[in-house]
Structure 1
Amino acid sequence: MMRSLWSGVSGLQTSQDFMDVVGNNVANVNTVGYKASQINFSDVLAQTLSGATGPQGALGGMNPMQIGLGTQVASTSKNFSQGSLQTTNVTTNLAIQGNGFFIVSPDNGNTYSYTRAGDFTFDAKGNLVTPTGDVVQGWLANNTTHLINTASTIQGINIPQNMTVPAGVTKNVSMSGNLDGGQTVQTSELTAITPSLENSTGAINMNSIYNSNGNLIGVGQTTATAAVGAGSDTVSGLYDINGNQIGSNWTVTVGGTTLTPTPATLSDLANALAPSGTTATITPGGEIQISSTGGTTLPTITSSNPVLNGILSNLSGKTIPAGGTITSLPFFSTPGDTVAMSFDGGANYNTYIYGSGTGGGGTRNSTTGIMSGNVQYFTTLDDLKSDINTDINDNSATPPINNATVTLNSSGEMQIVPTTGSNLSSIGPVYSNNSNLATILGTLSGQVQQTGSTSQPFMADTYSTSVAVYDSLGNKHDVTFNFAKTNYNPSTNHTQWEWYATAPSSGSSTPTLTNASGQITFDSTGKLVGLTPPLAITANWNNGTSQQVVNLHFGDLNTFDGLTQFSLPSQTSSLTQDGYAGGSLQNIIVNQNGVISGMFSNGKSYALGQVSLATFNNNDGLLSEGNSLFEATANSGTPIVTTAGTGTAGTVIPSELEESNVDLGTEFTNMIIAERAYQANARTLSTSDTMLQSLLNIQ
């Protein structure tokens, strides 16, 4: 009778243990990385009343007779099946998809614990830690090579959030693109670019000149060469400097009085505009010139015709000093490429016509030596420079009147610099029917300082492109590569281009570039066939940084993989360099192999470390420590430290956490089973007690 009581008691105890396991599972239904436990029971050794006997002769065998003594807990085990993954959008939250455990340590690697809970964060020192402060273990990248040696001993993952990376010096510049093969270059007129646009053997043809934006100026592209107006020309058939014809419908008003009859010829118009005490003439440059012996202020002169009004605007209301002259802008019989410039502040203009021809004439001021009302022809940039020099300086006088020096500097800019004792004080507005040419020369206008006036740069058949180059401190320098077509060899059908590199000054430092020029040769198919060495610029930035060598890669010879020369617009299709500025850590990302990469402010990304994983031969042998941690035991086997995705280890899923794998439906079912088992065992005790009571009541 006592056996049934003890069996019932053991049933109560194991049912309570069952309920304890179920309750713990339900309590951890929201615990990150929690693995559900399950309990297993076994019976207690039974009491043997009689043993088994085998068959003997005619007597059959007998089975053993045993009565059980109750139940006991055989084992509790963890269900290590995969839990669901929950997206958190927190970069340092990690989950394991598959087998394996994160390795953490509370004491700098002296002891290790293992967990499936990846709710990690960085602490104040940059350690990747669990919520209880254990440091996640793995490998750190080499600070120089950014390589990770996963064969080395694991250590705590430490990534300071104020981490910086040094600048990378630019060592290589690679370029590919096209240089326009459709432009015509006359070899006799341009043999070198150093980068001076003027050379000792000749001048630069105007139809091969570009502005600083790389746009072909287009001088000489018109179909006609301009011709200046003659005194007998009918006004209605004449043109202004922009090629606009005056036409027949116009009137002129002088001092508020409209001229009647309307002057038909240029000479008649000139005479009608000249007030008493002045003389009007038509200059060789096509301007109406009014001179005065005693000084005169001209009345207001306007025209109903906007073209004519523009030409005469330079006369309206202007004062002529005693013995001086003033001109209108030029009239033209035929439109074409022209420039009009004044070297006395805009009072008198000279005309420069693109094309071959003879000019001259005009009036030279005996005091200043400046020519006015003159006409000159030019086909090259050197011609234009010489024409301007002639009109400013009277070198035929005795002694010569040298007012200024006109040159082209190394940057391709035209400079007008006054000489000692010069009377050159101001240059008037520049007019041209070619807007690019007017813009380039227009910066000469204004007061002439002692240092002179400078135009915008002229560029000869050039194409420019810029690339950022970084020095040893990470300073960025914009290096401009300029390409100029310089030669064509009809015997080989090879075309040569010159290239040169420039870098602007930065603050008080002026960079020095060595080996910053060379030649590039293309064959008749536009293929790169020649490069003059060395293709390596030595740069000294003169700002306290190290001197550096920048290797240039324009493409392989006899291929089309770099620079080409087709009859297409010049353009850069690819321009790369391998330098970069220093940067600070902005963000981190983790990949499926557990590699932690840093995203830096300079746009670079480097591997900073890698999270390690551990696998075991027997996960059920692990000992739970609490805080979602496990400890290796003799029955779990030695941990195998590896990388995610290697061998039996699963992969790391960033920005996600593994949820508890507790199934509430299963647990509620187990709860009912445990409750009913408890009730049944309690009934066993109650029934046994009743039987004992009956026994005690026997008289």
Structure 2
Amino acid sequence: MMRSMYSGISGLRVHQTKMDVIGNNIANVNTAGFKAGRVTFSEVFNQTLQGASGANEATGRGGTNPMQVGLGVNIASIDTLMTEGAAQRTDNPLDLKVEGEGFFVVDDGSGYKFTRAGAFRIDSSGNIVSPEGQKLMGWGVNNNTGEIEKGVVESLSILSPANLYSEPEKTTNVYLEGNIDRNDTQLDPLNGGVPFTISFYDSLGYRYTAELKLTSTAGDTDFAITVGAVKDSKGETKAVGTDSVTVSFNPATGKVNLTGDTQLNITGLNGATDFSEMAEPLTVDLSQLTLFSGKTSIQSVRGDTSGFGAGREAGTMSGFSIGPDGKIQGRYTNGENKLLGQVVIAQFRNPAGLQKVGNNLFQVTTNSGDFDGIGMDPTATGGALNAGVLEMSNVDLSREFTEMITTQRGFQANSRIITSSDEMLQELVNLKR
């Protein structure tokens, strides 16, 4: 009877522990990135009353099974279920969800921690941090190449002073596109020629407009382009050009004759004492012009045909986005996109071996595997990051309520063992009366 009573006590203890785990799961049903726990039981040990025996041909008796009395139950494990939770759309660009395996790497000042909860924000120093202030870690950008520099993870500070603005860039290339009608009477120098303009930026990001004219020469296939005044954004003349070029067309194809002059270099601007564009010539590509029938129409496009050398004014950050590969792209008012860093993830051989330390954080243990301090690209193993989405808890309420019912019944049944054993002991004591 005493054995059964102590077995009942062990049953009460383990079922109470299981109810604690279930209660914690249900309490965290709406906790982002929460991983549910699961309790498994095992018997403690058994008292052997009689061992097993084999068949005896001499006596003609068959074998017997062992007789054992169990002495209670114990907790075999409390596992953390690392299954992926459902996605919850938030449209907040700093809310991130890991698709697949892996954990965000954060630093709380005492070392690296790991989390699946991707609810991040910006602090006063421009760092991406968790709600509790742990810094999100990732890879930085090489200042010389502008590309991601893989190495030991560092805090991601996307609103650092260097990232708040985009530096201006001088225009070095311009190309002309359009058509020239050789019968256009305005092309006659006596009629003033056909005017058009070229806009460009100097090295400080100031915008200028060069006024040019297109005029016909003695032949039907040669045309002169002459640089006139160069004005700033306020319309004030800053320089007077002296450059000109004659562009020749193939009479059979109507395209620029590539054996002749196909570009105009705007240099030697008179009176350009405060005009920083003078540092290098501005190359104007003429090869895209045509001599087809139709109206004369000339316009300029900054940059070459691939966009290189277009130049830009200075810009300030207007927003940012995080891609599936974790790369953070800053958007600026001057149209530039700049790479600001990359969010990385950590993967472990046995993620269930990680230890919970509160605030949705895990830390490594001897059974989880180590973090190498570098991390990996979120897409390296077929996963991705999903911005504007949070990972919900993986708690299954239907399962938890079912477990709650069976746990409650188990607790009640074990309590009956104790009360029944107590009544049997009472009857034994009453034999003396």
TM-score by length of 1: 0.56
Amino acid at match of 2:283: N
Distance in 1 of aligned mates of 2:88 and 2:394: 12
Which aligned pairs between 1:74-85 and structure 2 lie closer than 5 A? 74-85=76-87
Cα distance, 1:503 vs structure 2: 4.0
Q: Distance in 1 between matches of 2:26 and 2:262?
A: 78
Cross-structure match for 1:619: 351
Q: Do the aligned partners of 2:263 and 2:285 also contact (CA within 8 Å) in 1? A: no
- Name the counterpart of 1:583: 315
Structure 2 partner of 1:684:
417
Q: Which amino acid aligns with 2:43?
A: D
Q: 1:65 aligns with which of 58, 67, 75?
A: 67
**1:522-579: per-residue Cα shift (whole Å, max 9, x none)?**
1122021143276432366532636122222223xxxxxx111101112347723210
SS in 1 for 2:405: helix
The one-letter code matched in structure 1 to 2:335 is G
Amino acid at match of 1:543: D
Whole-angstrom CA distance in 2 between matches of 1:106 and 1:612: 17
Do the aligned partners of 2:166 and 2:336 also contact (CA within 8 Å) in 1?
no
Given the superposition, is the C-alpha separation of residues 513 and 9 from structure 1 closer, same or farther in structure 2, using an over 3 Å criterion? farther
**Distance verdict in 2 for CA 1:55–1:517, change over 3 Å:** farther
1: CA distance between counterparts of 2:80 and 2:367? 14
Whether the aligned pair in 1 keeps the contact of 2:262 and 2:286 (CA below 8 Å) is: no
Give the stretch that moved more between structures: 11-20 or 522-531.
Answer: 522-531
CA deviation after TM superposition for structure 1 residue 627, in Å: 0.2
Change (3 A) 1:147 1:481: farther
What SS class does the counterpart of residue 197 from structure 2 fall into? Answer: strand
Work out which of the two has the higher radius of gyration on C-alpha atoms and give 1 or 2.
1
| Cα distance in 1 between the residues matched to 2:35 and 2:227 | 67
Distance between the aligned counterparts of 2:415 and 2:390, measured in 1?
43
Shift of 1:33: 0.9
- The corresponding residue for 1:521 is 248
Match of 1:538 among 251, 257, 267: 267
Q: 1:50 to 1:574 in 2, by over 3 A?
A: farther
Is the 1:178–1:563 Cα contact (8 Å) retained in structure 2?
A: yes
1:46 offset after TM fit, Å? Answer: 1.2
Contact between 1:121 and 1:128, CA under 8 Å: does it hold in 2? Answer: yes
Gap change, CA 1:22 and 1:581, over 3 Å in 2: same
The code of the aligned residue for 2:69 comes to: I
- Asked if the contact 2:121/2:128 (under 8 Å) is kept, the reply is yes
- SS of the equivalent of 1:53 reads coil
SS of corresponding position for 1:466:
strand
Deviations 1:607-654, CA, capped at 9 Å, x for gaps: 111111111111100000100000011111123610111125x21111
The 3 A distance-change label for structure 1 pair 501 and 59 is: farther
Percent sequence identity is 36
Secondary structure of 1:477 counterpart: strand
Aligned to 1:177, the other structure's residue is in SS state strand
The structure-2 alpha-carbon separation of the partners of 1:67 and 1:478, relative to structure 1 and needing over 3 Å to count, comes to same
* 5+ residue gaps, structure 1: 184-207, 211-215, 217-379, 382-457, 490-494, 556-561
Matches within 5 A, 1:112-127: 112-127=112-127
1-side partners of 2:15 and 2:289: how far apart? Answer: 84
Q: Where do residues 148-159 of structure 1 align in structure 2 (5 Å cutoff)?
A: 148-150=148-150, 152-159=151-158
Deviations 1:181-213, CA, capped at 9 Å, x for gaps:
343xxxxxxxxxxxxxxxxxxxxxxxx336xxx
Query: Which residue of 2 is the match for residue 176 of structure 1?
Result: 177
Q: Does 1:645 align with 2:379?
A: yes
Aligned partner of 2:205 in structure 1 is 474
Higher RCO, Cα 8 Å, sep 6+: 2
Q: Distance in 2 between matches of 1:27 and 1:10?
A: 26
CA distance in 2, matches of 1:136, 1:583: 26
Task: For residue 509 of structure 1, report the CA deviation from its aligned partner.
Answer: 6.5
Q: Could you say what the CA RMSD is over the residues aligned between the two structures, in angstroms? A: 2.2
Confirm whether residue 164 of structure 1 aligns to residue 141 of structure 2: no
Q: Is the 8 A contact 1:182 1:566 kept in 2?
A: no
2:307 corresponds in structure 1 to none
One-letter code of the match for 1:673? T
Partner of 2:7, secondary structure, is helix
Give the direction of change, closer, same or farther, for the CA distance of 1:140–1:33 in structure 2 (3 Å limit): same
Find the aligned partners of 1:616 and 1:539 in 2 and give their Cα distance.
Answer: 64
Closer, same or farther: CA 63–606 of 1 in aligned 2, 3 Å: same
**Distance (whole Å) between structure 2 residues aligned to residue 534 and residue 553 of structure 1:** 4
Aligned residue identity for 1:43: E
| Aligned residue-pair number | 413
| Partner AA of 1:638 in structure 2 | D
Aligned residue for 1:661, secondary structure, equals coil
**Offset at 1:486?**
1.6
- How far apart are residue 90 of structure 1 and its match? 1.5
Aligned to 1:634: 366
Classify 1:154/1:66 alpha carbon distance in 2 versus 1 (closer, same or farther; 3 Å). same
Residues 539, 548 of structure 1: 8 Å contact kept: no
Q: Which residue of 1 aligns with 2:306?
A: none
What's the CA shift for 1:603? 1.3
Which position in structure 1 is the counterpart of 2:37? 37
Aligned to 1:21: 21
Q: Map Cα deviations across residues 136-175 of structure 1 (whole Å, 9 max, x no partner).
A: 000122345321122x211000122651121011111123
Which one-letter code corresponds to 1:651 in the other structure?
Answer: A
- Equivalents in 1 of 2:299, 2:86: separation in Å? 49
Moved more, 566-575 or 10-19: 566-575
1:398-449 deviations in whole A, cap 9, x for unaligned?
xxxxxxxxxxxxxxxxxxxxxxxxxxxxxxxxxxxxxxxxxxxxxxxxxxxx
- Residue in 1 aligned with 2:98? 96
Mapped to 2, the partners of 1:98 and 1:90 lie a distance apart of: 20
In the alignment, what sits opposite 1:655?
388
Amino acid at match of 1:166: E
- Compute the displacement of 1:32 (Å): 1.0
* Counterparts of residues 548-587 of structure 1 (less than 5 Å): 548-555=280-287, 562-572=288-298, 575-577=301-303, 578-587=310-319
**Does the CA-based 8 Å contact 2:171-2:282 persist in structure 1?**
yes
Tell me the SS of whatever aligns to 1:620.
Answer: helix
**Contact 2:238/2:275, CA 8 A, preserved across alignment:** no
Equivalent residue, structure 2, for 1:669: 402
Alpha-carbon contact 2:127-2:155 (below 8 Å) kept:
yes
Matches of 1:482 and 1:574, distance apart in 2: 13
1:83 and 1:499 map into 2 onto residues whose CA distance is 66
What is the distance in 1 between the residues matched to 2:268 and 2:317?
A: 30
Aligned residues of 1:511 and 1:539 also touching (Cα < 8 A): no
CA contact 1:166–1:581 (8 Å) conserved in 2: yes
Aligned counterpart, 1:347: none
Counterparts in 2 of 1:681 and 1:544: CA distance versus 1, 3 Å: same
1:178 Cα offset (Å): 1.5
Displacement of 1:31: 0.7
| Letter paired with 1:686 | T
Superposition pairs for residues 149-228 of structure 1, below 5 Å? 149-150=149-150, 152-160=151-159, 163-183=164-184, 208-209=185-186
2:273 and 2:210 map into 1 onto residues whose CA distance is 15
Alignment partners' CA distance in 1, 2:249 and 2:423: 115
* AA matched with 1:176: E
* CA–CA distance in structure 1, aligned partners of residues 77 and 212 of structure 2: 79
Task: Indicate which of 295, 310, 324 corresponds to 1:592.
Answer: 324
CA–CA separation in structure 2 for the residues paired with 1:643 and 1:83: 21
The 2-side partners of 1:695 and 1:502 are apart by 121
CA contact (8 A) 1:509 1:542 kept: no
> Where does residue 413 of structure 1 map in the other structure?
none
2:104–2:116 contact (8 Å) kept in structure 1: yes
Alpha carbons of structure 1 residues 690 and 574: separation in structure 2 relative to 1, 3 Å = farther
Partners in 2 of 1:539 and 1:51 — Cα distance? 110
* Cα separation, 2, equivalents of 1:613 and 1:554: 50
Unaligned stretches of 5+ residues in structure 2: 304-309
Aligned partners of 1:501 and 1:677: how far apart in 2? 94
CA contact (8 A) 1:589 1:598 kept: yes
The amino acid across from 1:486 in the alignment is T
Query: What TM-score do you get using the length of structure 2 for normalisation?
Result: 0.89
